[in-house]
Copies of this chain bind each other. A is one copy, B any other.
Amino acid sequence: MGKSSTTSTIAELALRSQVAAREMALAETALKNDALKKAAAVLRDNVSAILGANQKDISAAEESGLASNLIERLTLNENRVMAMAGGLEKVVELPDPVGETLYKSDRPNGLTVEQIRVPLGVVAIIYESRPNVTSDSAGLCIKSGNAAFLRGSGSAINSNIAIEECLRDAIASAGLPEDAVLLVRDTSHESAAEFMQLRQYIDCLVPRGGPNLIASILENATVPYIIDGDGNCHVYVDSAADLDMAESVLVNAKTQRTSVCNAAESLVIHKDIAGEFLPRAVKSLEGVELVGDSQAREISSGIGEATDADFSTEYLDMKMSVKIVDSLKDAIDHINVNNSGHSEAIITADETAAAEFVRGVDSGSIVINASTRFIDGEELGFGAEIGISTQKLHARGPMGIKELTATKYVVHGNGQIRT
């Protein structure tokens, strides 16, 4: 297994990650794909070792009284390990983004200018209980020529180490630097803060976790990062909506899976169709607790009173806020005040209204006449997803492998000097 990362300081690990990143940046596509295929095979060959390590984590979690939903996230089984291996093989099929030309210009003085995609370098991932993130994010980093510098949670440390060691073995056997995947063993609170401040080494930090993790990044991080934040997603039912479609999309967006960031949390209805649509919505959303403004409560007695905070809350549960608006413009304004920049849908047969919604709503993804649940890297055709950015710089919305690259200008000349 070569040198391990057991006893090193975090800065020492980060330096090793940076050295590996320089080598990974030069690796040919075939070599990276070979490492990914070998990694899938090693995971499959080591299912029982991985599940054994995972059992240690589960036992410790049960002893410490961890909540059952967190234990569920932590738990691996043979299918989940096979899915991790399969995920790595899917990354093999993705085109290698490195070297792609994004801009080209021949200058009057004979210089040729090209802008090409290059790896970011050290991509740091800080994540919570799910051990599959170790493998999933490492796979995307390897394919994009980066080094994955990983810091998972203490509750999953044995599982994460078992997976990391498999990946490192595979990478080394493919002739690439094993430090291209490196897991920080120290899972103390202090180590997380230190990790976020390794500005000299980390080129991009991607957090994968809940609001507390994001708050900690905003508070402590000095490295460049991409925020994968809340999804306070809206479904706006326009006056020109097909109400059958609106009902079906609404129910899907809210209830198909409530615990995910692209689930709808707030229903906004144009007043002209609220009297007809809202009672239908209340009925079809049976089991969902609805809280709304006074107009909504007047129309339907089954709706509780919404506070201002309700309209900006991501429930991730069978609960939804309801707002009646006087106009499309008011809908846009309401959404812009309350949304988190994730995904917002409009249901309308009016293309002009849809276009106004697209232009006016400040969000990463706008969906017209479909469920917000489609805002996901796989659904949008990226093959795999490293997260969903709710910020505007570098990446916005679902992030595929291209978002793990930077660019570089390459200027060719034959002796030109500036006068």
Contacts and interface: CB of A to CB of B under 8 A. Distances in A.
B111 A374 contact: yes
Contacts of A374: 111, 411, 413, 416, 418
A418 B256 contact: yes
A397 B408 contact: yes
Given A359-B25, A370-B417, A416-B370, A375 B409 contact: yes
Contacts of A396: 406-409
Interface stretch (A242-250, A300-308, A314-322): A242-250
Contact of A414 (B115, B256, B369, B413): B369
A343 to B, nearest CB: 8
Given A381-B105, A411-B366, A224 B418 contact: no
The DSSP consensus for interface residues of chain A is: mixed
A397 to B, nearest CB: 5
A334 to B, nearest CB: 13
B363 A413 contact: no
Contact of A393 (B226, B371, B379, B414): B226
A364 B408 contact: yes
Contact of A371 (B115, B409, B417): B417
B360 A393 contact: no
A398 B107 CA distance: 15
Interface in A346-397: 358-360, 362-371, 373-375, 379-381, 391-394, 396-397
Interface of A: 22, 25-26, 105, 107, 111, 113, 115, 120-121, 199, 203-204, 218, 222, 224, 226, 242, 245, 248-249, 251-253, 256, 336, 358-360, 362-371, 373-375, 379-381, 391-394, 396-398, 406-419
